[in-house]
Amino acid sequence: MDASPAALGRATLARQHLLERARLPVPDVVRAVGAVQAQEPAAPYLALWNRVAGFDPADLDDAFTSGTLVRSTLLRITLHAVHADDWAPFHRAVTDPLRGSRLNDRRFAPARLTPAEADDVRDALLAFAARPRTQDEILAELTRLLDADRAPAAWFALRTLAPLHHVPTGPPWSYTPTRRHYRAGATTAADAPPPGDDPAVVHLARRYLAAFGPATEADLGQFTMLRRPFTGPALAALRDELVPVGGSGRTTLWDLPDAPRPDAATPAPPRLLGMWDSVLLAHADRTRVLPEAHRRHVIRRNGDTLPTVLVDGHVVGVWRATDDGVDAALFEPVGRDDLRALEAEAAALRTFLADREPAVFGRYRRWWEQLPTDDVHRLA
């Protein structure tokens, strides 16, 4: 099987519905693509606008309101939107990096809690959050359980590692950063899964390959932040279900046998991807979509991943939306036909954003002046 970067890129784009927009309900598309980044409230809407034919943002609003889709801290210790059926196994699978990232952080130290004591406070908090609670209500409850000096540090850890759902707060994007509400996703929280072939980790590995394969064990670890004692046994447990796609040893790419792997020459239409789009973050080797020469300009030192211009299946530049248009800064030449296709995408994007946030991602705009190109186009 072809394991060239172009072929791997086409496989990923096909599974992410970026070769052709899907004509499926929004929850089905989210299930198919595994998870969509939701660090900024607008991010999942942009991700689905790129992946769903005739996408209506109200459909995503409704899915969040009904609980069919869940926004929670999961993969890479960041907020993601996932199908409700995937949330519990995903959260259990990544509990180890969630706990490690917070209980070992110096910002947790003022809470003066052992891991076992933190678990007791977590369980009390989950009982309190059986119905939606504001952040202020949660801090008040933690102050009651601990004291005013310890509560903020405890909340720093628990808001990430506890199995909490973010509750929709209203337009324009269902979630308002300044009015965060939380609800317990489960009445009790399981301990972190032990290293080995825990069913939750196996489930996550299978769903990852369906959405982003073919991939190596290192790719799986990159996207999930799971260590090899977790990823190795999970892939071993799946071995009878998988086929190798090039490489050898630790560099073997694994895949589900019936997953789409289109020809490397399959046309890939231009796309305007939002910030932190998963196709740019799902692999240790990102050259299947993001050329190495552009990586440091797209993925910033602080982790911000810029809105990107995709042409012929790979990143050729970045874009920004302003109150009066959509601009693209290109790192490499783009043909006339592709530029026209990008202009059509940008016109549709402006219409999509008009009623919600025309200058989306505006607070990250500082990077625009730092780009290494003066090839800037007003697309719409």
Q: What pLDDT does residue 188 have?
A: 64
pLDDT tens, position by position, 174-206: 998 888 899 999 766 767 777 888 999 999 999
Same domain, 213 and 92: yes
Same domain, 107 and 240: yes
Q: What pLDDT does residue 363 have?
A: 84
- Return d(Cα 332, Cα 196) in angstroms, integer: 45
Mean pLDDT of 209-214: 97
Instruction: Determine, yes or no, domain membership for 282.
Output: no
pLDDT tens, position by position, 334-348: 999 999 999 999 999
Same domain, 117 and 177: yes
Instruction: Determine, yes or no, domain membership for 275.
Output: no
pLDDT band per the 50, 70, 90 thresholds, residue 365: confident
67's tokens: 């609980």
Same domain, 58 and 189: yes
38's tokens: 């939701």
CB 304 within 8 A of CB 367: yes
User: Across 188-245, where does the E strand assignment appear?
Assistant: 243-244
Instruction: Determine, yes or no, domain membership for 100.
Output: yes
Instruction: Determine, yes or no, domain membership for 88.
Output: yes
- pTM of the predicted model, to two decimals? 0.94
Mean pLDDT of 204-213: 97
Cβ burial of 175 (10 Å; 0-12, 13-18, 19+) is buried
pLDDT band per the 50, 70, 90 thresholds, residue 373: confident
Mean pLDDT of 307-316: 97
More confident residue, 168 or 3: 168
- Return d(Cα 130, Cα 186) in angstroms, integer: 8
Same domain, 260 and 332: no
Domain limits for position 340:
290-378
Q: How much of the chain exceeds pLDDT 70, in percent?
A: 98
φ/ψ of 70, rounded to 5, equals -125, 135
- What's the total number of domains in the chain? 2
Instruction: Determine, yes or no, domain membership for 276.
Output: no
Same domain, 303 and 227: no
Same domain, 359 and 256: no
CB 233 within 8 A of CB 244: no
Asked whether residue 372 carries a pLDDT value surpassing 70, the answer given is yes
DSSP SS3 for 181:
strand
- Return d(Cα 193, Cα 93) in angstroms, integer: 7
pLDDT band per the 50, 70, 90 thresholds, residue 232: very high
Q: What pLDDT does residue 326 have?
A: 96
Same domain, 223 and 326: no
Instruction: Determine, yes or no, domain membership for 272.
Output: no
- Return d(Cα 45, Cα 169) in angstroms, integer: 15
